[in-house]
Amino acid sequence: MNSTERIYRVLNNENVDRIPFSLWRHFPGFEHTSNGLAKKIIEFQKKFDLDLIKITPSSGYFAEAFGGCFDYRKDEYGVKKGIKEFSHSSVKSYMDWNKLEILNGKILEREIDVVKIVNSEFKNEVPIFQTVPNAITLAKIIRGEAWIDDIREHPEHFKNGLKIINNAILRFCIDSIKSGANGIFLFTQIAGQNDLSKEEYNEFQINFDYQILNELKNKKVLSILHIHGLDIAFDLFSKYPVHIMNWHDQCTKPSLSEAQKIFKGVVLGGIDENNVLAIKRPEDITLQVKKAIKQTNGKRLIIGPGCTIPINTSEENIKAIKKALTL
């Protein structure tokens, strides 16, 4: 049974030879060329035999396409994760939402080429997912702290920006699928219980997300929703038309078993990437894997982290995940 077969059988709640697993990371220094990032992803896949390949572009890549600038973070967490911080925005005022446009399309072309290269290597033996921010997350990155003021003081201008962003996201998703991706890994960083009111969530996030996800569903494209952060409003996202849900289940509610009661798809999690996978012993990782299996009875489950793993995570600890699944 290859990885693609294994993933589809889990999605259909059918028996598999073993529970699938995956994880993903940034590759700082290699992310700025298609060949560089693709080569590292291919090496990573061949070394660890993951059941799902998540293409993880340079953090903030889509905001760069809209004219933003990023630098690698120098703080301890940023270095550990290999992520960037925003240093320049093309949106200086709420009026700028109306004239937002892609200023550097080559950034997106670069990420499409990564998909092509990775797909040519594995030829559908492993499902490939392109990573894409949702519209409100991208708007927050582009605008900075003023995003919430724009929602509440200039909502129509903000929605005009979201429409432009959403159209660009949808085109990029379709281009990624045409280039060999089997699915989209859509992530939101606006997910906390107190980030927005329920009405604001519906108006500025959920409605726009559904435009993307329903189009992907119509095209029979696989989808993962990653809900980033703590104290998340999981109930709001549990009805999303996605196949797989991923969040920081080891650090915030709900647990995997609690989530499966209200979300009818597959849950992806069980591993604490920062406090266990990166710093503890293989036997601790085995315990987490076994606990996740026990919670879910091994059904509708893909073992994985809550987010990108630290770049210094040891090979021994990563290999402990698959070993635990084959014991």
Calculate the CA 62 to chain-centre distance: 13
Whether residue 249 is predicted with pLDDT greater than 70 in this model: the reply is yes
Q: Residue 283 is which amino acid?
A: E
Q: What is the pLDDT of residues 131-178, one digit of tens each?
A: 999 999 999 999 999 999 999 999 999 999 999 999 999 999 999 999
Q: Which two tokens stand for residue 323?
A: 């070993």
Neighbour count for residue 277 (Cβ, 10 Å)? 25
In terms of phi and psi (left: phi > 0; alpha: psi -120 to 50; beta: otherwise), the region of 229 is left
Nearest CA among 162, 260, 246 for reference residue 212: 162
The stretch 28-47 carries a mean pLDDT of 97
Hunting for tokens 């990023």 — which residue is that? 70
Are 35 and 317 in contact by the 8 Å Cβ rule? The answer is no
Give the per-residue pLDDT at 69.
Answer: 87
Hunting for tokens 């004219």 — which residue is that? 67
Give the separation between CA 1 and CA 151, rounded to whole angstroms: 48
Give the per-residue pLDDT at 327.
Answer: 66
Q: Residue 78 is which amino acid?
A: G
The domain 3-274: what is its CATH number? 3.20.20.210
Q: What is the pLDDT of residues 174-217, one digit of tens each?
A: 999 999 999 999 999 999 999 999 999 999 999 999 999 999 99
Whether residue 230 is predicted with pLDDT greater than 70 in this model: the reply is yes
* DSSP state, residue 133: E
Q: What is the pLDDT of residues 302-320, one digit of tens each?
A: 999 999 999 999 999 999 9
Are β-strands 84-88 and 183-188 bridged in parallel, bridged antiparallel, or unpaired?
unpaired
H or E element, residue 113:
helix 105-122
Q: What is the pLDDT of residues 59-116, one digit of tens each?
A: 999 999 999 988 889 999 999 999 988 788 889 999 999 999 999 999 999 999 999 9
The stretch 37-56 carries a mean pLDDT of 98
Give the separation between CA 291 and CA 289, rounded to whole angstroms: 5
Are β-strands 301-305 and 84-88 bridged in parallel, bridged antiparallel, or unpaired?
unpaired
pLDDT band at 264 (very low <50, low <70, confident <90, very high): very high
What are the extents of the domains in the chain? 3-274
Are 20 and 6 in contact by the 8 Å Cβ rule? The answer is yes
Are 243 and 11 in contact by the 8 Å Cβ rule? The answer is yes
Q: Which two tokens stand for residue 65?
A: 């396409």
H or E element, residue 283:
helix 282-296
The radius of gyration of the chain from alpha carbons, rounded to an integer in Å, stands at 19
Give the per-residue pLDDT at 92.
Answer: 93
SS3 of residue 107 by DSSP = helix
Give the per-residue pLDDT at 90.
Answer: 84
Are 295 and 261 in contact by the 8 Å Cβ rule? The answer is no
Neighbour count for residue 120 (Cβ, 10 Å)? 11
Are 62 and 46 in contact by the 8 Å Cβ rule? The answer is no
Q: What is the pLDDT of residues 18-27, one digit of tens each?
A: 999 999 999 9
Give 253's contacts (C-beta < 8 A, 6+ positions apart): 231, 232, 234
The stretch 16-41 carries a mean pLDDT of 97
Q: What is the pLDDT of residues 279-303, one digit of tens each?
A: 999 999 999 999 999 999 999 999 9
Give the separation between CA 15 and CA 133, rounded to whole angstroms: 32
Give the per-residue pLDDT at 85.
Answer: 85
Q: What residues form DSSP beta bridges with 270? A: 304
If you average pLDDT over every residue of the chain, what do you get? 97
Are 127 and 53 in contact by the 8 Å Cβ rule? The answer is yes
